[in-house]
Amino acid sequence: MRAGVGFNNSHYTNLASPTQSRADENSLYYVAADRQLWQSHVHDAASRGIYGGFSVMGAPPDLNKVSQYYEVRLYAKGLFDSRPSDQISLVATDTVWSRFAVDAAAAKGNLVHRDAKAISGTYTAHLGPGIYASLGLTYIDHPTSITYTPQIGHALNFSASTSIFF
């Protein structure tokens, strides 16, 4: 489990009163936890198994367009004996926009939504020392930030990547 708070004293536009002088401080907070739910090889490779976790993040809605973020995740390492270093993940998220930013965009006549939800699945293969390849599929409801057009509703994204660590 981990938690934290951040502060920033840069000048920020106050979304609740954008014509007023800028705010001089901003903050954020987060709480996250992960736990191994099941071990597949207790004695020789304790990290292999299934994990679950969550994250909750927040920031003042009068200073930040993203005011809340929620994530739930389920992931596994080494489920297959033939691939003991591979990982699989399933992650669901909800990004909540600032009510002040949403209301300001709606007042201008824009179509708005208050959040964006997503669910993704990823398989990461360990190809060699420091070399990984990932394939993922993500479905996003409301893939834009706050405003959208009637043609934009959902997105289905495929991703492929290679990472090399040295």
| Residue 25 resides in a domain | no
Q: Apex CA 151: angle with CA 98 and CA 100, to 5°? A: 10
| Residue 17 resides in a domain | no
| Residue 148 resides in a domain | yes
Q: Where are the alpha helices (DSSP H) in the chain?
A: 99-107
pLDDT, one tens digit per residue, over 137-152 is: 999 998 988 998 888 8
pLDDT bucket at 46, cuts 50 / 70 / 90: confident
Q: In terms of Cα–Cα distance, which of 66, 61, 51, 78 is closest to 146?
A: 66
| Residue 9 resides in a domain | no
pTM for the full model? Answer: 0.89
| Residue 95 resides in a domain | yes
C-alpha to C-alpha distance for 82 and 78, rounded to whole angstroms: 8
Q: In terms of Cα–Cα distance, which of 120, 122, 117 is closest to 132?
A: 122
pLDDT, one tens digit per residue, over 59-111 is: 999 999 999 999 999 999 999 989 999 999 999 999 999 999 999 999 999 99
Strand, helix or coil for residue 107 = helix
How many domains does one find in the chain?
Answer: 1
Range of the domain at 90: 30-164
pLDDT bucket at 115, cuts 50 / 70 / 90: very high
- Averaged confidence pLDDT in the chain: 93
CATH number of the domain residue 83 falls in: 2.40.160.180
| Residue 4 resides in a domain | no
| Residue 74 resides in a domain | yes
How many residues are present in the chain? 166
